[in-house]
């Protein structure tokens, strides 16, 4: 559910207020005073800049333990994988395939419409130099050039602790996937206790992230002030273009990809399918929470879609954590948009890397408001884009969050429909309570 401050205002409202204050003050400085004025330089260098840096530093601090524990927990929740056999593997395959399609659509849309273009390159380079220090530790660990063949070789870490120490995030994520699979395959008391301990680590990291996110309204105001003071009205035009491209890419995935998958692989009329899942779609859009929507999705799968209960519960519960198509798409769109905004050209190989990290990042996204921020910041740092640029998108993130959560929830139901085809299981009334799992929004 939506986090709130002590005053009772929802976090997204406070973030919008911070966005508006920072944007308004920055535009006033840009139009009336000028970004070259000495007191403006002192303010951005010694006050607003460091505040934004501290916020992002706290996010980077949590990236490693958060992603590792989230991926391990997400994969290990496939506890019935061995018993369900082909159902478990079909679920995993469909999750990867649909997430890959989602990210490709997002990256394709950004490359086609280029919403980040149009900013004065000199101003972009000035801001790039100003913010380069913020993520220096992680940026320095990224290779200067990328060879796709070597990239795949480097996915397997020779030394897991060395990879973590050098901020090599992707090899660590691959190790986390293998670690989670190992927990699924090993059936022992010790393995159960280890899984419980990692689940505890995940919960602690999520709590800490929740606390850090409470600082977001102040950080957003500071980051937006710096950006608006430098870029002026061009900033609003680029932001509107970003939101339009993100929503358009999500619409393509929702209304073209999903119907094709449901029709071809699920054996169901797409219009009938969407009619039967309208309740969880509406709840997902209104709450922006996969966690709150899970019970509604389970009921719709069993009473409307008439899917086998055992299969639908397995697929939807695992999917609520691991099948985040909308989140993966959004992360890819955001990274490429900010790269364009700052005038950083990403090669095809770098974009493939972004795609792979987004797919894995869909598993490792925390189930709190703005929980995708650490993943986005980490990907930005990997490709040399200043992570402070995420302040650009926070003001419109609430509506985009509602859209991508709807895409996530619908995607879970699509996978459940496909996996259930040809499977048999008694279907009856829901007679046992459903305990929602912690899931990304």
Q: Which fold has domain 12-420?
A: 1.10.3860
Best CA proximity match to 225, nearest among 97, 57, 394: 394
**From CA 247, how far away is CA 242, in angstroms rounded?**
9
Q: Which helix (H) or strand (E) holds 334?
A: helix 325-341
Which tokens is 400 given? Answer: 């985009």
**From CA 241, how far away is CA 247, in angstroms rounded?**
10
Which residue has 């000028």 as its token pair?
A: 34
The whole-number pLDDT of residue 216 equals 81
**From CA 69, how far away is CA 198, in angstroms rounded?**
6
End-to-end CA distance of the chain: 10
**From CA 317, how far away is CA 416, in angstroms rounded?**
10
Best CA proximity match to 330, nearest among 387, 248, 264, 411: 248
**From CA 218, how far away is CA 88, in angstroms rounded?**
44
The whole-number pLDDT of residue 147 equals 55
The whole-number pLDDT of residue 256 equals 96
Cβ count near 108 (within 10 Å) = 15
**From CA 259, how far away is CA 280, in angstroms rounded?**
17
Which tokens is 325 given? Answer: 């198509």
Which tokens is 166 given? Answer: 């050098």
Which residue has 């950006």 as its token pair?
A: 227
CA 236-216-437 angle, 5° bins: 110
Q: Does residue 4 sit in helix, strand or coil?
A: strand
Which residue has 């429909």 as its token pair?
A: 417
Q: Residue 336 CA to chain centroid, in angstroms?
A: 14
Distance (Å) of CA 82 to CA 194, 316, 369, 439: 19, 17, 33, 23
pLDDT in tens, the chain (441 residues): 444 444 567 777 887 888 889 889 988 988 888 777 888 888 887 888 788 878 878 877 887 888 788 778 777 765 555 545 677 778 888 888 999 999 999 999 999 999 988 777 776 666 656 555 544 444 444 444 445 566 677 778 888 888 777 767 778 878 888 898 888 888 889 988 999 999 899 889 878 887 888 888 898 888 888 878 877 787 788 888 999 999 999 999 999 999 999 999 999 999 999 999 999 998 888 777 776 687 889 889 989 999 988 778 778 876 766 668 888 899 999 999 999 988 888 888 888 888 888 887 766 565 455 567 777 877 887 777 877 777 778 767 778 888 988 999 999 999 999 998 877 654 444 444 444 444 444
Best CA proximity match to 351, nearest among 112, 135, 131: 112
The whole-number pLDDT of residue 305 equals 92
Q: Does residue 89 sit in helix, strand or coil?
A: helix
The whole-number pLDDT of residue 130 equals 56
DSSP characters for 405-418? Answer: HHHHHHHHHHHHHH
Q: Which helix (H) or strand (E) holds 65?
A: helix 49-76
Instruction: Answer for the pair 216, 370: CB distance below 8 angstroms, yes or no.
Output: yes
Question: Residue 94 — left, alpha, or beta (φ > 0 → left; ψ -120 to 50 → alpha)?
Answer: alpha
The whole-number pLDDT of residue 441 equals 47
**N residues, the chain:** 441
Q: Does residue 10 sit in helix, strand or coil?
A: strand
Name, in order, each residue with C-beta under 8 angstroms of 37's C-beta and a sequence gap of 6 or more: 29
**From CA 34, how far away is CA 272, in angstroms rounded?**
57
**From CA 72, how far away is CA 269, in angstroms rounded?**
36
């Amino acid at each position: 559910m939506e986090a709130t401050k002590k005053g009772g205002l929802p976090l997204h409202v406070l973030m919008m207020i911070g966005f508006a204050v920072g944007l308004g003050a920055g535009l006033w400085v840009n139009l009336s005073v000028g970004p070259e004025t000495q007191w403006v330089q002192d303010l951005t260098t010694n006050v607003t800049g460091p505040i934004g840096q501290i916020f992002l530093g706290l996010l980077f601090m949590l990236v490693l333990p958060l992603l590792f524990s989230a991926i391990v927990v997400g994969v290990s929740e496939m506890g019935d994988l061995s018993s369900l056999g082909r159902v478990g593997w079909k679920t995993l395959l469909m999750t990867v395939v649909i997430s890959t399609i989602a990210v490709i659509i997002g990256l394709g849309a950004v490359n086609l419409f280029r919403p980040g273009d149009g900013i004065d390159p000199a101003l972009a380079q000035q801001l790039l130099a100003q913010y380069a220090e913020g993520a220096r530790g992680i940026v320095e660990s990224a290779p200067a050039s990328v060879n796709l063949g070597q990239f795949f070789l480097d996915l397997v870490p020779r030394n897991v602790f060395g990879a973590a120490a050098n901020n090599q995030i992707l090899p660590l994520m691959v190790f986390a996937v293998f670690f989670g699979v190992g927990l699924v395959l090993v059936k022992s008391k010790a393995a159960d206790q280890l899984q419980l301990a990692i689940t505890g680590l995940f919960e602690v990291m999520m709590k800490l992230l929740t606390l850090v996110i409470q600082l977001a309204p102040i950080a957003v105001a500071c980051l937006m002030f710096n950006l608006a003071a430098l870029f002026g009205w061009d900033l609003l035009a680029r932001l509107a273009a970003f939101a339009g491209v993100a929503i358009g890419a999500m619409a393509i995935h929702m209304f073209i990809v999903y119907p094709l998958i449901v029709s071809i692989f699920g054996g169901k009329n797409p219009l009938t399918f969407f009619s039967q899942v309208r309740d969880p779609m509406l709840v997902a859009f209104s709450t922006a929470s996969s966690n709150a929507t899970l019970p509604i999705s389970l009921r719709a799968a069993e009473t409307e879609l008439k899917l086998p209960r055992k299969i639908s519960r397995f697929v939807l519960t695992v999917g609520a954590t691991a099948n985040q198509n909308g989140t993966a798409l959004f992360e890819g769109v955001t990274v490429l948009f900010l790269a364009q905004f700052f005038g950083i050209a990403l090669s095809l190989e770098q974009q493939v890397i972004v795609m792979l990290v987004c797919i894995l990042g869909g598993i490792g996204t925390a189930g709190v408001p703005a929980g995708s921020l650490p993943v986005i910041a980490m990907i930005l740092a990997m490709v040399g884009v200043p992570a402070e640029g995420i302040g650009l998108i926070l003001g419109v993130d609430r509506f985009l969050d509602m859209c991508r959560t709807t895409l996530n929830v619908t995607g879970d139901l699509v996978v459940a429909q496909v996996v259930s085809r040809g499977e048999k299981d008694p279907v009856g009334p829901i007679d046992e309570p459903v305990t929602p799992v912690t899931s990304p929004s």
